[in-house]
Chains A and B, each alone.
Chain A
Amino acid sequence: MSSDFYTTQILPYAAIIIKMCRAYTNSQEDFEDYYQEVCLQIWRSSENFNQQSEWSTWIYRISLNVCLTLLKKKKNNKQHFASDYLPPELVEDSHAFEDESLNQLYDAIRQLSEIDRGVILLYLEEKSYQEIAEIIGTNPNNIGVRIKRIKERLKKILS
């Protein structure tokens, strides 16, 4: 991957990748691995970008797919890290952000199912139901109900 591609095509959208990767990792080390893998996949698959969707949507899609794949791989390899079993307050990533409420929200998001994490992140990023459905690969009609359910679950966890 050329540094030029990274600077012009990825770095301006790094926030998307960071937000997504944080939701699927428990430690800074894992987070950096996921981030790097997403960047690599974006670069590798950039040739397949057909401009039917926005570049940012493409990045969301790849970020989510890579995070889900890596998480699945991690589970299959049974590579459990100590941080996987720690309570949220002891997980390194629980202090990833300056804002304590945001840290708590992320801890709550990490307790959701893998797909629900992606759905709520996209919702919080103000993606339309149509876009969320496209990125997740599901029916837009179900998204609204699902988001409502996820929000209720998050509220419960946070309270």
Chain B
Amino acid sequence: MEKSIETIWKEGFLKSDALIAPKLNNLYNQKSKHIIDKFKRMFKMNLILIVLGSFIVLGASFIVGIPYLGVPMFFILNVLVILNKKLLNTLMLIDKSTNSYDYLMAFDVWLKSQVSINKKFARFLYPFIFLSLIIGFWMKIEEGQRIGTHAVNKLLLTYPDLNLLFGVPVIGIIGALLITGILVLLGGKIYEWDLKIVYGRVFNKLDEIIADIKELKA
């Protein structure tokens, strides 16, 4: 007589040794590789977006008449991309065939070095962008005159005793230098915030996996 599915199920598991649980040694291999691959994809995409953005800024700056803003921005953004592309190339060298703990730790070391280099660069990048903005708008020509010169002339009408240095109000130079100084000091922090916004979830996941593996190894 043909067996019912209930009987097949019951009898099958009685004599089967297939209910032996697989070992958990491979538990984190795929997870860690997946999370690092995700980071690589995001990182690459981020670089592509920065390059695209730099071209848009460059083009737009010429259209709007602020090339003194567009050209330095284009330059600095591409330096940033080249620097990070080089860092990404070193990430690709990490051996994927190693166990997940070593792989994650190697990635973590890479990440820390990448963050450290970018933090240093950010102390230069943000002030550079700020000064490009100032100079870019200052040099923009409107009605045959630079906006900066036009603004100074207007100020001189109200404050005739205004101290100027190379045609720029000293108070303005001090203000700009002060903000530049603050950006130099806070550049690293700003980069960290930026990083958290873009990669925060990936980093949290990574920390979780590393903590899990450490607990498992303990």
Majority secondary structure of chain A interface residues (helix, strand, loop or mixed)? helix
Interface presence of B142 (CB below 8 A): no
Contacts of B15 in A (CB 8 A): 98-99
Query: Is A133 at the interface (CB under 8 A from chain B)?
Result: no
Contacts of B6 in A (CB 8 A): 124
Interface size counted on chain A using CB atoms at 8 A: 32
A-B contact count (CB 8 A): 73
Q: How far is the CA of A39 from the CA of B212 in the complex (A)?
A: 13
Enumerate chain A residues within 8 angstroms of B24, measured Cβ to Cβ.
6, 36, 39
Residues on A with C-beta less than 8 A from B19 are 14-15, 18-19
Pairwise interchain contact B216-A2, C-beta atoms closer than 8 A: yes
B12 surroundings in chain A (CB, below 8 A): 97, 99, 101-102, 105
Task: Give the residue of A2, A101, A120 whose beta carbon is less than 8 angstroms from that of B215.
Answer: A2
Which residue of chain B has the shortest Cβ distance to A15 in the bound complex? B19
Residues 65-107 of A at the B interface (beta carbon under 8 Å): 96-99, 101-102, 104-105
Q: Which 3 A-B pairs have the closest CB atoms?
A: A102-B12, A14-B21, A99-B12
12 A–B contact pairs at CB < 8 A?
A1-B216, A6-B24, A15-B13, A18-B18, A97-B12, A97-B16, A98-B16, A101-B8, A102-B16, A105-B8, A105-B9, A124-B5
Given contacts A1-B27, A36-B26, A98-B17, 14 further A-B contacts (CB under 8 A): A1-B216, A2-B216, A15-B13, A22-B18, A33-B26, A35-B22, A36-B27, A40-B27, A96-B18, A97-B16, A98-B15, A101-B8, A101-B12, A102-B9
State the A residues within 8 Å of B (CB): 1-3, 6, 11, 14-15, 17-19, 22, 31-33, 35-36, 39-40, 96-99, 101-102, 104-105, 120, 124, 151, 154-155, 158
